[in-house]
């Protein structure tokens, strides 16, 4: 007996590399994917709004490093201090850019074909359409076509029928919206390539010149060099802030002398514009004027020392003074500044009504300032260097304006001679700013148009002394709104034309 062999089952053919590529491209360029990527881009921007960004608020980033260094380190690893320059934000941005191009091109081709396509012929049974009405028997095809054209319908006539269509701009609104989003992404890219931004802290009486070396932090675009910066300079003549009786900040202004030719009052959201370069006022604080004399009697520090704000409500601040030229040993001082002293080492009001400077700690030894390694101006030295310094004072010694204090061991003397204020500025040049604004406005106009405009068709048949009209919409969810419009269309089509030219509406 011969055994019957069953042929092996054939495996279903797989997609293959080309099939997977086509599937991936269709998925990436689908409208659903574009919307998901747009949502992810908005979601990815949230950390940039909630956490201080290194390019905008470097002092708050430094403060977070001091208060919680472990958390700040993780934030830095995840690029949460530089969200808009992070690789994961760039990945979402580029995917959205590609998806929008893949959506727009085929939809534009389809829309162009729709514009050239004539409305279809009228159906034989108009009573089966969602909207239907009887018309006066004396209505002719030519008269119906003329009246529909007056209502801005695209009209086609045939043997005893009229076909009219309206609402092509709905798809145009969709395309304008998506093209505007693409334009917005291009504008952001142009700003990233050809623009720059930087931060600088300026003390009252000091100046700033728009050069790379003058910035505390400078972030150039990839195609920006030192010669790309707009040449201008200014001096901070004065700073004024107003507070309520409870200490709430009401307003503040910086008074600048620009290019030695004009005065300008710089306020929040009212930037200085020089050749397209915007200078924004983003913060302020205090800089007590400190004079330090070393053990040899030489003045080694005599300047305003910007302080880092620790209590925003009262502007209680911490300051660091480094004197690397002091002899016989370098000096490092920790200070606390209170604009209005409360008698307990704190501040009770943010305005400088009764300023007080407290010496909290003093150190001597090699501060490491000549090692070539960058150091923060808000700390005396890194922890590994601090462990090698000699602490000569630890406590809380108050100083009013004009007071002085002799450091222990003949290390020198500190004097509190006055109070100035500092401002932080963000200086930015963004050539994509205006195109981005125009694109955003067009996107809003496009989405409004796509939501308000309905695609609809109206048909008229005239035969055997009778006339009828039918209508339908090609937009989901707009049937209720079309019912009222269809009633108006029927009313216009039902208007009799008298021989003397007067109209009589039935």
Task: Please enumerate in sequence order all residues whose Cβ is within 8 A of that of 250, keeping only pairs 6 or more positions apart, or say none.
Answer: 242, 243, 244
Pair 44, 95 in one domain:
yes
Query: Is residue 437 in some structural domain?
Result: no
Pair 351, 245 in one domain:
yes
Q: What's the pLDDT at 478?
A: 55
Query: Is residue 180 in some structural domain?
Result: no
Pair 419, 477 in one domain:
no
- Bridge-partner residues for 412, per DSSP? 294, 407
Q: What's the pLDDT at 15?
A: 63
Query: Is residue 127 in some structural domain?
Result: yes
Pair 393, 303 in one domain:
yes
DSSP state letter for 11: P
Tokens 């909290």 correspond to what residue? 360
Pair 90, 123 in one domain:
no
Structure tokens at 472: 């339908």
Query: Is residue 445 in some structural domain?
Result: no
Pair 205, 299 in one domain:
yes
The residue segments making up the domain with residue 222 are: 196-429
Pair 229, 146 in one domain:
no
Q: What's the pLDDT at 419?
A: 96
Q: Cα(432)–Cα(434) distance, rounded to whole angstroms?
A: 6
Q: What's the pLDDT at 47?
A: 85
Q: Cα(212)–Cα(201) distance, rounded to whole angstroms?
A: 14
How many domains, in total, are found in the chain? 3
DSSP string, 252-287: EEEEEEETTTEEEEEETTB-EEETTEEEEEEEEEEE
CATH code for the domain in which residue 474 is found: 3.30.310.50
pLDDT in tens, the chain (506 residues): 455 555 555 554 556 777 788 888 888 877 788 788 888 888 888 888 788 887 667 767 877 887 888 888 888 888 888 887 788 888 888 888 888 888 888 888 888 888 888 888 889 889 899 899 998 778 888 999 999 999 999 999 999 999 999 888 888 888 888 889 888 888 988 888 899 989 999 999 999 999 999 998 888 888 888 888 999 999 999 999 999 988 899 999 999 999 988 999 999 889 999 989 999 999 999 999 999 999 999 999 999 999 999 998 999 999 999 999 999 999 999 999 999 999 888 999 999 999 999 999 999 999 988 877 777 788 888 888 888 999 999 999 999 999 999 999 899 999 999 999 999 999 999 998 899 999 999 999 988 888 888 888 999 999 877 899 999 887 665 556 788 889 999 999 988 654 434 444 43
Pair 401, 329 in one domain:
yes
Q: How many residues does the chain have?
A: 506
Domain termination residue (choose one: 370, 394, 429): 429
CB 455 within 8 Å of CB 473: yes
Query: Is residue 419 in some structural domain?
Result: yes
Task: Please enumerate in sequence order all residues whose Cβ is within 8 A of that of 486, keeping only pairs 6 or more positions apart, or say none.
Answer: 131, 133, 458, 471
Q: What's the pLDDT at 9?
A: 52
- Bridge-partner residues for 154, per DSSP? 165
Domain termination residue (choose one: 429, 444, 464): 429
Decide: helix, strand or coil at residue 373: coil
CB 365 within 8 Å of CB 329: yes
The pTM of the full predicted model, rounded to 2 decimals, is: 0.67
Q: What's the pLDDT at 500?
A: 39
Query: Is residue 12 in some structural domain?
Result: no
Q: Among 262, 201, 255, which Cα is nearest to 232's?
A: 262
Pair 339, 401 in one domain:
yes
**Residues 378-412: pLDDT tens digits?**
888 888 888 899 999 999 999 999 999 999 989 99
Q: Cα(122)–Cα(161) distance, rounded to whole angstroms?
A: 6
Q: Cα(38)–Cα(175) distance, rounded to whole angstroms?
A: 16
Pair 399, 489 in one domain:
no
Query: Is residue 267 in some structural domain?
Result: yes
Domain termination residue (choose one: 68, 89, 109): 109
Pair 314, 416 in one domain:
yes
Q: Where are the beta strands (DSSP E) in 136-228?
A: 154-158, 161-166, 196-203, 207-209, 217-220
Pair 208, 252 in one domain:
yes
Query: Is residue 183 in some structural domain?
Result: no
Structure tokens at 94: 């580029």
How do 233-243 and 217-220 pair as beta strands?
unpaired
Q: What's the pLDDT at 502?
A: 41
């Amino acid at each position: 007996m011969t055994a019957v062999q069953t042929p092996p089952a054939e495996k279903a053919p797989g997609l293959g590399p080309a099939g997977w590529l086509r599937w991936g491209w269709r998925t990436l360029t689908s409208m659903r994917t574009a919307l998901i990527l747009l949502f992810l881009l908005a979601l990815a921007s949230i950390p940039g709004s909630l956490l201080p960004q290194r390019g905008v608020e470097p002092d708050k980033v430094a403060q977070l490093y001091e208060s919680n260094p472990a958390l700040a380190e993780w934030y830095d690893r995840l690029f949460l201090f530089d969200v808009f320059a992070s690789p994961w934000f760039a990945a979402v941005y580029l995917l959205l850019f590609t998806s929008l191009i893949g959506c727009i091109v085929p939809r534009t081709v389809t829309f162009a074909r729709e514009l050239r396509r004539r409305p279809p012929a009228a159906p034989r049974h108009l009573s089966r359409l969602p909207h239907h009405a009887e018309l006066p028997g004396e209505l002719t095809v030519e008269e119906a076509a003329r009246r529909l054209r007056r209502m801005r319908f695209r009209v086609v006539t045939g043997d005893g029928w009229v076909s009219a269509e309206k609402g092509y701009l709905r798809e145009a609104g969709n395309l304008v919206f998506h093209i505007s989003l693409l334009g917005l992404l291009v504008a952001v890219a142009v700003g990233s390539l050809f623009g720059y931004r930087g931060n600088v802290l300026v003390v009252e009486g000091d100046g700033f010149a728009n050069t790379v070396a003058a910035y505390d932090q400078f972030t150039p675009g990839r195609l920006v060099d030192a010669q790309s910066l707009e040449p201008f300079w200014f001096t901070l003549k004065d700073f004024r802030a107003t507070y309520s009786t409870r200490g709430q900040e009401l307003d503040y202004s910086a008074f600048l002398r620009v290019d030695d030719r004009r005065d300008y009052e710089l306020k929040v959201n009212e930037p200085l514009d020089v050749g397209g370069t915007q200078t924004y006022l983003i913060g302020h604080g205090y800089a007590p004027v400190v004079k330090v004399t070393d053990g040899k009697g030489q003045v080694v520090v005599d300047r305003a020392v910007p302080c880092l704000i620790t209590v925003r409500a009262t502007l209680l601040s911490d300051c660091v003074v480094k004197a690397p030229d002091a002899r016989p040993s370098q000096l490092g001082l920790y200070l606390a500044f209170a604009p209005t002293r409360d008698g307990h080492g704190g501040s009770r009001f943010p305005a400088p009504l009764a300023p007080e400077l407290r010496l909290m700690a003093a150190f001597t030894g090699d501060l490491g300032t000549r090692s070539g390694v960058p150091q923060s101006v808000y700390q005396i030295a890194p922890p590994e260097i601090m462990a090698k310094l000699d602490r000569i004072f630890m406590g809380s010694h108050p100083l009013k304006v004009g007071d002085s204090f002799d450091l222990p061991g003949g290390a020198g003397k500190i004097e509190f001679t006055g109070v100035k204020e500092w401002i932080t500025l963000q200086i930015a040049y963004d050539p994509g700013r205006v195109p981005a604004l125009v694109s955003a406005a067009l996107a809003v106009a496009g989405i409004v148009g796509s939501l308000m405009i309905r695609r609809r068709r109206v048909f008229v048949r005239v035969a055997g002394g009778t006339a009828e009209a039918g209508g339908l919409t090609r937009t989901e969810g707009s049937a209720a709104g079309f019912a009222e419009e269809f009633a108006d269309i029927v009313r216009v089509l039902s208007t009799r034309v008298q021989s003397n030219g007067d109209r009589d509406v039935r």
